[in-house]
Structures are given as C-alpha cells and as structure tokens.
Amino acid sequence: MSEQIKGGTHQPIEHESAHKHVSGRAEYLDDMIEPAGTLHAYLGLSTCARGKILAMDLDAVRHAHGVVDVLTGADIPGENDVSPTGLHDEPVFAKGEVHFYGQPLFAVVAKTRDQARRAAHLAKIDYAGEAPFLDVKSALANGGELVTKPLRLKRGEPAPALEKAPMRIKGEMEIGGQDHFYLEGHIAMAVPGEDDDVTVFSSTQHPTEIQHMVGHVLGVSANAVNVHVRRMGGGFGGKETQGSLFAAVVAVAAKKLGVAVKIRPDRDDDMVATGKRHDFVASYDVGFDADGKILAVDAEFAARCGFSADLSGPVTDRALFHADNCYFIPEVELRSKPLKTNTVSNTAFRGFGGPQGMLGGERMIEEIAYALGKDPLEVRRANFYGGEGKNLTPYHQVVKDSIIERIVDELEESADYQDRREAVLEFNKTSRILKRGIALTPVKFGISFTATWYNQAGALLHVYSDGSMQINHGGTEMGQGLYTKIAQVVADEFQVDIANIKVTATRTDKIPNTSATAASSGTDLNGMAAADAAQQIKGKLVAFATEKYGVGPAEARFINNHLHLGEHKIPFADLVKDAYMNRVQLSATGFYKTPDIHWDRDSGKGTPFYYFSYGAAVSEVVIDTLTGEYFVERVDILHDVGRSINEAIDKGQVEGAFVQGMGWLTTEELWWLKDGQLKTHAPSTYKIPVASDRPRQFNVNLVNWSENTAQTIRRSKAVGEPPLMLAISVLEALSMAVASVADYKTCPRLDSPATPERILMAVQRLKGN
Ligand code: MTE
Ligand code: HPA
Ligand code: MOS
C-alpha cells in the first residue's frame, strides 16, 4: 500500500468541481431551486450621464403586465447607499441627480424576469443634462476633481537627478480599461426570514461586505443578515464590491414583499451598470545613462475612476507600487491621480492597478532601449533589483527575495530568445509586408492587501463521528481552485484522503468578518487558517489516543489514513469514532494573520507586502503592416509559485491570466459615445480572446526550484493575479514589429489596447504617412 494519501498538498489533482463544470452539474446561483412564489427584479437605468432628474414617471412601469411593485429610493428603510469606503458616494438608486449613463434609478419587481425586464423600459424620465466629463483628459481639463486622496511615493531627489542625467525622455502612454466578462454575470437572491432576518445568496467575492451593505440598506444589524455563496462563474475582481447593488435591491424587495426575490441583469446591463478595470494616462520623465541604467524617474498615473471612489484609492496605490516592476530606481517620485468622471465607478480587476503601473514602467524601459539602440532585455537586466544599495523600492520596502535574474536567465535559454531575436531581425530585413517582433518581460508582484487589516482569515473545521469532515473558510470559489487547495491542506494535515473532506459554501454565519477573496491571497490566508483548525483537532486526537494507549505524544504520527502510535496503527475513522464516544471536541475554528507587514500611507513608507511573486515571458508576434492584423505565434512562460500546492491548478491560473492579460492589451476596447453611453456592451462589439487567438505555441512552466522564503502555507506563493502581467510581453513584441518599419529608431509609443487599428496607425505614423 502506498504511503501517500490521495490529494495531499503538492499533488496536481483536479479542481473539486471540474467534472461538474464540464457536465453542467455545478450549481450556480441561477440553478438553485427557487422558493415558492419567488419574484424577479430588474433595474431601470439612467439614459443621461450627468444632470438633474426633473421628473420620474413610473406609471407605465407599475401597470405593466405581471408587475408587483416598483422600488425607488423612498422604499429603502435604511441608508440609500452601498459605498464600500464609508464615503457615502454610491446610492443604490440615484438621489435626484445622475452621474453616469446606466446608473440605476429604480427597480421593478414582477412575477417573471421577462416581465420585469420589459416593464423597466417603460419609464419616462426627464433630465436637465449637462455635458459629462468622460475620460482622464476631459476630467483633467475641467479641474481634475478626485474621488479619493491621491498617493505620492518619493525616495531621494528626482528633480535634480533628472536635470543632471546624461539622457532624459518624457512621454505619455494611454492604458486601456477592461470589462471582467465573467461567464456568470452578477446575480443575487434574497429570502426573507422572521423578524429582521434575511438570507442573501450572492455571486460575490466578498460575502462580509454584502452582509454589511444589506444591513445598512435595510437599517438592521449585521447579525440579521446571512450571506451565502457556493461558487461564482468567475469574478476577476468585478465581484469584490459590485455585487452590493444587486444584493441590496433584492433584500429590500424581499423584506418589503415578504417573498423571495431574485435579480439577474442581462449581459448588456451588467456591462453598462457595473465597474471595470481603470484606464490610465501615465506621464513619465526618466533620466538614464549610456548603459541604459535608470538614474531617476518622475511619473504620474492618472486614472478614470468613474463617479464614486469604490476601490479607486487602493487600485491607484497599487499602480504606483508596481511602476518599478523589477527595477531599482535610485531617485524617484510617483504620484497617483484618481479622477472623478461621469462614467460607471471603476473597480478591482485582476492585478488591481498593478498591471497599469507596471505597463507604464515597462514603457520607460522600452523608451531607453530604443533611444540607445539596445535590446530592451539588456536594459532590463541593467536595472534589476539586487544587493545592497540596489534593493529599495519607491515605497521603502527592501526587496529581499528577488529571483528574477535566474528566472530570466533560464527562460532566455529555454525559449531560445537570442537566436530567435536574431531570426526576427533577419526576417524583418527582407519581409516587406509582414513584420515580426519578440520581447522578454519580467514580473514582480507584491503579495498582501495594502489595507493591512484585510490580511486575516478564519476557518471552521468539523470532524464528524464517521471520520468525514467539513471545512469552511472565509474565501470564495470563483473557479481559481481555492476550495481544492484548502481541502488539500486539510487532507495533508491529517494525512487522510481528500475524499473525506468537503469544502462547504462560504457563509457569513460560519466565518465572521472575512476579507474579500482578492489580492491573490485566498490560499495564503485561508490555507493557514484551515491548517490552524486542523492542528487543534489533531492535538486533541493525539492527546486522547496517547492517554488511552499509554504512549508518548512524540511517537504519534498521522500516516496514510491512520494514526501510528508506536506499535498501534489506528484507522482514522476508528480513532475519530472512539474520540467521539469519549467526548473529545471534534470541531475547531482556525485563525491567521499575515506577520511582518505594515504600511503608512501618509508618509508613503512601509513594508506593505509579505513577499513578491515573480515570472517572465517571451512572446513572438507577426503583424501585417497593410491591415494592422496580427497573431501571437509563440509564448514561453516561466512563472514562480514557490512550492506549488497544486501544479495543475497553478498552471491553469498562469495560462488563464496570461490570455486575459493579452485580451486587455490587444483586442478588448471599451468605447463610449460623447453622451456617455457605453457602446461596447456585448461580445459583438467587445472582443475578448477566443480559442483562435491563443498563442499558436504556448509553453507554460512553473519554476521548479522556488520555495517561498516567507513562511506561507507549504511555502507556496500566490498565483491568481501576477501572471496576467506576463502579457506585457505581447504588447512589447507588437511594438518591436511596428518599430521595424522605421528601422527601430524610435519607440512606437503604442497605446493599449493595441487593436489592429492602433497597430496600423502606429505603422503609418512611423512611415510618415
Ligand atoms: N481564476 C478564475 N478561474 N476565476 C476568477 O474569477 N479571479 C482572479 C484570480 N483567478 C479569478 C481567477 C483574481 S482577480 C484573484 S484576486 C484571485 O483569483 C482570487 O483568488 P485567490 O486569492 O484564491 O487566488
Ligand atoms: N488587492 C485587491 N483587493 C483589495 C486590495 C488589494 O490590495 N485592497 C483592498 N481590496
Ligand atoms: Mo482580484 S482583482 O484582487 O479580485
């Protein structure tokens, strides 16, 4: 018999729901059996981006077929607000004025979803509209009102260093936003209970926040609200705060009408009415020497935040935290500008501002390389963090764990970068229409919530008397495999097969005060809490058994579904049964908080991250200079996840994140009309990557020698977000292909997304026509 249990840590087992995902049997919220008499809500949205509401005539809505009720701000018993920041700037239903095209004004409740949806369009609203400020440039031109306090990071004296620098480039880059395009859109259902109780089912990454928001809107305490989420069909950050609106609407309706109420906007309304990745304008001033060494940087990152703060503060902070990427900048000042605009309030999206900051930083590297006529990889290497005097970030955290040089060296070799770059240069000399490009870019991503108190987690473990277990924890499952990894941790602690362990739906009545499942830290935090709970129960079992068998605890070992006690080998289920009969407590709560981190935003100094995750990618592309069309021919990735808890899941995360990043930087373009209407609100006009867009050759490898130097669960590293930024290599390879039409003399300053149109325009600009 093998000594290895089935499904412990470091085993590449399948996702706990994989078979259900592919056979359609995984239960999403909309698949749940509805309580008898469930009604359906639908939102009525503003058709004006900025102005006063003069009159709202909802008579036709009220009298439409099947309609039971219409809810406006007047129906909200508590506060008409779901702002996650405490700034009270995000009404559930607009309060007399509107701030973006698509803002919710009212909700209609009907017997069927179709009836509610049709009725919602019958409203007659009169507005006194004003010209909206839609983007960064128009917001800046109109006074640059901010939604939240900006951040400044400063080290040294960049101004004089820039003056003295042998070479200096100033530039600007526009960095596009992105829609989350989760397969399951936003959805919520509320079931009223007795007194002020309500149970809310929500597709959310943050059950605790839903609990509090529903409580505020209903005017009841948190203990009256239970939130329940088994799984999401993707969140990607879009469900960190944005589910509150939907949960609040159904909770108000359910308590008012005394029946269950469900809401599921269609894809178009989901895209119009919920926030996206922030687009940025990065402006930089970089000084460097003839070797390509950066001497000083002064940069500003201005973001379109939309009408309210939402998470724009921490998102724009994280942009600054990642503008350095893997590079030491001797003298530096970075500023954020979280701008208010008359658009939907932008929110968390995989990377949380980090990708935008990093892209700006990488553009500076490209600028330097083209100015000096060097391979950008040479410039990257010249600036890597490392050693005394070269290891301090702009936020004064010391980089102690950099393995980027080794990763880049290995990838350069395994991807045959140098020879392929030569071949690309050769090809471009003779190919008239098609041009190739290749780029190797690194990633360093800081792990921990910058909101330090968020770095805590709880778990609740029940061992039943038959030896089976339920583990519950504060994290949510959105497809990323968190439940699988947590079950692996528990299996590993007890050394029992994973088949004995069920991870149950995330619920606020099981684990209180949870953090959003975000910042890639779901496994880091909840894995440790689950291990803590398991260790407590193991301790009790060992104490019981050692006393019973008269053996010292030093001889107790959990091995292969048994407890070994000297001579004795007790099957785990027998041990548990025996412990139960002897009144041993078989349930425990676990807790974890990340050690050693602190952050002082006012001074811009601290150690906000417990550690960094690293990775690198080489992408090769070919463009058609007559049409701007392109293909990604080959991608090689080497990514660091420490000691992987599950290589199969981690590889899936790396592949998925890369492709999502590629979509962000190439084809996913958001487009608003001048009146503030989002025109790209369906897959017909908003182009996410499809199977045929995948790299034609896609070699994804995990670093097999890395072990987290920080004491994380089984020395693993967070994986969810960092690999998204590997896709920067695609944009830079496209840049190189474009640059070839003017003999690589200038950096093409390609904005993102680099759609075929943008590629074509950049080619024509460089050719001078
Ligand atoms: N993977 C899938 N399949 N679906 C998702 O929605 N979200 C990403 C990432 N990977 C996501 C995903 C984001 S934005 C984050 S922060 C992490 O997963 C969150 O989960 P984790 O902390 O457990 O990695
Ligand atoms: N990352 C993701 N989500 C967050 C963060 C963060 O740093 N802070 C607050 N929510
Ligand atoms: Mo991820 S953007 O932190 O939900």
Note the pLDDT tens digit of each residue in 83-109: 999 999 999 999 999 999 999 999 999
H or E segment to which residue 104 belongs:
strand 104-110
Q: Which residue has the higher pLDDT, 438 or 552?
A: 438
| Residue in 154, 732, 717, 657 with CA at minimum distance from that of residue 446 | 717
> CA end-to-end span of the chain, whole Å?
74
Task: Tell me how far the alpha carbon of residue 235 lies from the centroid of ligand 3, in angstroms.
Answer: 8
Question: Bridge partners of 447?
Answer: 611
What does pLDDT average to over the chain? Answer: 97
| Residue in 188, 165, 204, 356 with CA at minimum distance from that of residue 261 | 188
Q: Average of pLDDT values for 359-373?
A: 98
Which stretches does DSSP call E strand in 537-646?
Answer: 556-559, 562-565, 568-571, 587-593, 598-600, 605-607, 611-624, 630-639
Render pLDDT for 205-255 as a digit per residue (tens, 0 to 9): 999 999 999 999 999 999 999 999 999 999 999 999 999 999 999 999 999
In this prediction, residue 3 carries a pLDDT of 73
Q: Which of 231, 236, 277, 521 to mutate to test the pocket of ligand 1 (most atoms within 8 A of CB)?
A: 236
37: which residues sit within 8 A by CB, 6+ positions away? 259, 260
Cα distance between residue 640 and residue 726, in whole Å: 12
Cα distance between residue 282 and residue 712, in whole Å: 34
Cα distance between residue 535 and residue 455, in whole Å: 21
Task: Tell me how far the alpha carbon of residue 351 lies from the centroid of ligand 2, in angstroms.
Answer: 9
- What the block records as the tokens of 196 is 């002020």
Render pLDDT for 695-743 as a digit per residue (tens, 0 to 9): 999 999 999 999 999 999 999 999 999 999 999 999 999 999 999 999 9
For residue 338, is the peptide bond before it cis, meaning its omega torsion is within 30 degrees of 0?
no
In this prediction, residue 1 carries a pLDDT of 44
Task: Using the predicted structure, report yes or no on whether residue 524 has a pLDDT greater than 50.
Answer: yes
Pairing of the two strands 434-447 and 225-229 = unpaired
Cα distance between residue 302 and residue 334, in whole Å: 11
Cα distance between residue 723 and residue 101, in whole Å: 33
Q: Average of pLDDT values for 159-188?
A: 98
In this prediction, residue 143 carries a pLDDT of 96
Point out the least confidently predicted range of 185-189, 384-388, 418-422. Answer: 384-388
Q: Does ligand 1 have an atom closer than 6 angstroms to the CB of 653?
A: yes
Residue type, 336: S
Q: Which of 232, 520, 524, 659 to mutate to test the pocket of ligand 1 (most atoms within 8 A of CB)?
A: 520
Task: Using the predicted structure, report yes or no on whether residue 540 has a pLDDT greater than 80.
Answer: yes
Centre a 10 Å sphere on the Cβ of residue 548 and count the other Cβ atoms it contains.
15
H or E segment to which residue 296 belongs:
strand 294-306
pLDDT band at 387 (very low <50, low <70, confident <90, very high): confident
145: which residues sit within 8 A by CB, 6+ positions away? 139, 339, 340
- What's the full length of the chain, in residues? 769
Q: Average of pLDDT values for 529-549?
A: 97
At residue 414, the 3 state secondary structure works out as helix
Indicate left, alpha or beta for 143 from its phi (over 0: left) and psi (-120 to 50: alpha). left
pLDDT band at 388 (very low <50, low <70, confident <90, very high): confident
Cα distance between residue 84 and residue 151, in whole Å: 19
| Residue in 732, 664, 746, 727 with CA at minimum distance from that of residue 437 | 732
Whole-model pTM above 0.75? yes
Q: Does ligand 1 have an atom closer than 6 angstroms to the CB of 524?
A: no
Residue type, 510: K
Q: Average of pLDDT values for 504-523?
A: 98
Task: Tell me how far the alpha carbon of residue 518 lies from the centroid of ligand 1, in angstroms.
Answer: 7
In this prediction, residue 769 carries a pLDDT of 66
* Angle (nearest 5°) at CA 480 between 264 and 613: 130
Cα distance between residue 449 and residue 520, in whole Å: 9
H or E segment to which residue 173 belongs:
strand 167-175
Q: Whose CA is nearest to atom 2 of ligand 2?
A: 519
CA-to-CA dists, residue 700 to 18, 308, 612, 620, 650, angstroms: 21, 39, 20, 14, 10
Q: Does ligand 1 have an atom closer than 6 angstroms to the CB of 235?
A: yes
Q: Does ligand 1 have an atom closer than 6 angstroms to the CB of 236?
A: yes
At residue 404, the 3 state secondary structure works out as helix
Cα distance between residue 465 and residue 581, in whole Å: 9
Q: Which numbered atom of ligand 3 lies nearest the CA of 238?
A: 4
pLDDT band at 2 (very low <50, low <70, confident <90, very high): low
Contacts of 373-377 with CB under 8 Å at 24 or more apart are 373/744, 374/292, 375/421, 376/439, 376/440, 376/732, 377/408, 377/412, 377/417, 377/440
- Given a contact cutoff of 8 angstroms between Cβ atoms, the answer to whether 436 and 300 are in contact is no
Centre a 10 Å sphere on the Cβ of residue 582 and count the other Cβ atoms it contains.
11
Q: Which numbered atom of ligand 3 lies nearest the CA of 721?
A: 1
Pairing of the two strands 188-192 and 261-263 = antiparallel
Cα distance between residue 760 and residue 449, in whole Å: 40
- What the block records as the tokens of 726 is 């590997």
Q: Which numbered atom of ligand 3 lies nearest the CA of 240?
A: 4
In this prediction, residue 196 carries a pLDDT of 98
- Given a contact cutoff of 8 angstroms between Cβ atoms, the answer to whether 197 and 509 are in contact is no
Task: Tell me how far the alpha carbon of residue 230 lies from the centroid of ligand 1, in angstroms.
Answer: 15
Active site residues: 721
H or E segment to which residue 469 belongs:
strand 469-473
Q: Which ligand is nearest to the CA of 243?
A: 3
Q: Which ligand is nearest to the CA of 209?
A: 2
- What the block records as the tokens of 547 is 């006393």
Q: Whose CA is nearest to atom 1 of ligand 2?
A: 519
Q: Which numbered atom of ligand 3 lies nearest the CA of 205?
A: 4
In this prediction, residue 65 carries a pLDDT of 98
C-alpha 500: how far from its chain's center? 31
Q: Does ligand 1 have an atom closer than 6 angstroms to the CB of 456?
A: no
Cα distance between residue 258 and residue 763, in whole Å: 62
Q: Which ligand is nearest to the CA of 318?
A: 2
Task: Tell me how far the alpha carbon of residue 317 lies from the centroid of ligand 2, in angstroms.
Answer: 10
Q: Which ligand is nearest to the CA of 653?
A: 1
724: which residues sit within 8 A by CB, 6+ positions away? 350, 351, 355, 657, 658, 660, 661, 664
Q: Which ligand is nearest to the CA of 520?
A: 1
Q: Average of pLDDT values for 271-293?
A: 98
Cα distance between residue 381 and residue 408, in whole Å: 9
Q: Does ligand 1 have an atom closer than 6 angstroms to the CB of 659?
A: no
3-state secondary structure 617-673: EEEEEEEECCCCCEEEEEEEEEECCECCCCHHHHHHHHHHHHHHHHHHHHCCCCCEC
Q: What does the CA dihedral 693, 698, 703, 709 come to, rounded to 10 degrees? A: 0
Render pLDDT for 562-608 as a digit per residue (tens, 0 to 9): 999 999 999 999 999 999 999 999 999 999 999 999 999 999 999 99
In this prediction, residue 655 carries a pLDDT of 98
Task: Tell me how far the alpha carbon of residue 530 lies from the centroid of ligand 2, in angstroms.
Answer: 22
Task: Tell me how far the alpha carbon of residue 476 lies from the centroid of ligand 1, in angstroms.
Answer: 9
Q: Which of 209, 317, 449, 453 to mutate to test the pocket of ligand 2 (most atoms within 8 A of CB)?
A: 449
